[in-house]
Structures are given as structure tokens and as C-alpha cells.
């Protein structure tokens, strides 16, 4: 298995986390829902910090995560969300080496 993922942390200004989410819903969610290259995407509120958002994106085999961050939807999102963030997003690339995925098709061994 070799799938690319991005792990992203957004640190919102105090009390602005819901506004960051609304910007994400406006600018990125429609694009993410329509793109086949995202085979998993989780937008999560951090339970221990009321101003932190954690995002997990998994890309279909062979997809380029960087390509998504080059598009107009991402640019519009960054413009809308930047005044709401305490710092720029932290973005970490990772390669999946093992996963349990109930949605994945089961393949039989020959």
C-alpha cells in the first residue's frame, strides 16, 4: 500500500474556529466532495483545544496532494481564512504504510 496523505492543523484565533469551518465549507468542501482523488477526508475539531482544527486527507493511489493546493478553491479559502488564523496552517505529508479501511473492497487471495 502506498497512498499519500496530508495531516493539517489550523490554529484559529480565539473564538474563530466556527468561522474557519464556515470558510472551509464555502470554499473547499464542494471541491473536495466532487474530486475523486480524495478517497478519505476528515475535518475534525480538536477535543483538547477549542481553537484547533485537525484535518486528515487521504489521496487515491498516484494522486498528487500538492496539486489540490494549487487550485482556485484553495486560494480563495486561504484568502478567507488567513485573517481568522493565529498562525499559518501546519501541513505534514505522510505515506500510508498500513490501514484498516472498512470501505475498501475486499480482494480474495488466489
- pLDDT value at residue 105: 47
Q: Where are the beta strands (DSSP E) in 1-107?
A: 3-11, 38-45, 52-59, 90-96
- pLDDT value at residue 2: 64
- Is 65 a member of any domain? yes
- Is 102 a member of any domain? no
CATH number of the domain where residue 31 is located: 3.30.70.100
- Which structural domain, as residue segments, surrounds residue 86? 3-96
Global confidence as pTM: 0.83
Give the H or E element holding residue 17: helix 17-27
Binned at pLDDT 50, 70 and 90, residue 28 comes out as: very high
- Is 105 a member of any domain? no
- Is 103 a member of any domain? no
Per residue in 40-97, pLDDT (tens digit) is 899 999 999 999 999 999 888 777 777 777 888 889 999 999 999 999 999 998 988 8
**Based on the structure, what is the number of domains in the chain?**
1
Amino acid at each position: 500500500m502506498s497512498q499519500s496523505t496530508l495531516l493539517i492543523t489550523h490554529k484559529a484565533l480565539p473564538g474563530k474556529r466556527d468561522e474557519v469551518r464556515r470558510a472551509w465549507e464555502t470554499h473547499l468542501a464542494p471541491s473536495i466532495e466532487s474530486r475523486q482523488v480524495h478517497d478519505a477526508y476528515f475535518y475534525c475539531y480538536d477535543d483538547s483545544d477549542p481553537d484547533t482544527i485537525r484535518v486528515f486527507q487521504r489521496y487515491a493511489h498516484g494522486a498528487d496532494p500538492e496539486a489540490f493546493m494549487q487550485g482556485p478553491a484553495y486560494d480563495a479559502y486561504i484568502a478567507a481564512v488567513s485573517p481568522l488564523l493565529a498562525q499559518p496552517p501546519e501541513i505534514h505529508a505522510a505515506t500510508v504504510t498500513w490501514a484498516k479501511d472498512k470501505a475498501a473492497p475486499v480482494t480474495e487471495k488466489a
